Amino acid sequence: MSNPAGVPVRRRTVRRFLPPQHGAWAMLLVPWLAGVLDAGFHWAHLSLLGAWLTGYLLSYYVLQAVKTRRLSRFRPQLLLYGPSTAALSLLVVSTRPQLLAYAPAYALLLAVNVFYAWRRRERALLNDLTSVMQSCLMVFVAATVAGVGIGQVATAFAAVLLYFTGTVLYVKTMIRERGNASYYRASVIYHVLALGAAAFLGIPIAAVFVLLLIRAAVLPRYRLTPGHVGIIEMIASVLVLITAVAAR
């Protein structure tokens, strides 16, 4: 017979090793899927996905350690995700050594994250946009793993970059910056400009960005829960992914 008292313990263990950032998973998976579907699947994409996910988990707890100045508090997570990330990364790089060309870009972007974590300002707009760029570069990384030029996935990269950049602004107007007129104007203006850029990527993508503009302009007027905001963004990310890949 199972012990009901053990359920909370298991939940605490899971929460200890998984960040409470539900929106991050879409920002991790959509660029990887866009790159894989657009460039064509290669078996090394599975190792890449493993390295990508464990790398995110490792970076999250590294940044938490930097923010709190308490390395010992996060040692179990670092000891779990550090070796896993290293092993999976080596497997991918051994297949495609060209991937090392992305290392300087990721190192620079991660340095920005570390800076903001040290300052305890990880919610700063520039830090969020830095994380968006890290995620969207995965489209190019997946293309390199597949052995195709990044030009083949340029449309998918542009679409997901436009989308996730806008999402940063929009979500702030819905949660942390609710009622902030400056953020609202910035979000709407950005989505107007993004729609103009999306028009050059194809009619289906532009149609999705029309919907994204409407949601950025209208939904901040309503008091939606974070859960509702997340569901809407899940649907939006799927639409962006489908149209971005179809536009190739």
Domain shared by 131 and 30, yes or no: yes
pLDDT band of 1, cuts 50, 70, 90: very low
**Structural domain that includes position 35:** 21-148
Q: Are 141 and 99 in contact (CB under 8 A)?
A: yes
Segments in 69-180 forming alpha helices (H): 75-95, 103-118, 125-136, 138-146, 154-174
> Quick check: is 15 in a domain?
no
Domain shared by 101 and 187, yes or no: no
pLDDT tens digits for 32-80? Answer: 999 999 999 999 999 999 999 999 999 999 999 999 999 999 999 999 9
> Quick check: is 189 in a domain?
yes
pTM of the entire structure? 0.92
> Quick check: is 159 in a domain?
yes
Between CA 184 and CA 186 the distance in angstroms is 5
pLDDT tens digits for 100-113? Answer: 999 999 999 999 99
> Quick check: is 163 in a domain?
yes
Domain shared by 209 and 176, yes or no: yes
Domain shared by 36 and 139, yes or no: yes
Between CA 163 and CA 152 the distance in angstroms is 19
Q: According to the model, what pLDDT value does residue 160 have? A: 97
Domain shared by 27 and 133, yes or no: yes
Domain shared by 32 and 127, yes or no: yes
Domain shared by 44 and 134, yes or no: yes
Domain shared by 99 and 129, yes or no: yes
Domain count for the chain, please give it. Answer: 2
pLDDT tops 70 at residue 10: no
Q: Which of 103, 123, 148 is the last residue of a domain?
A: 148
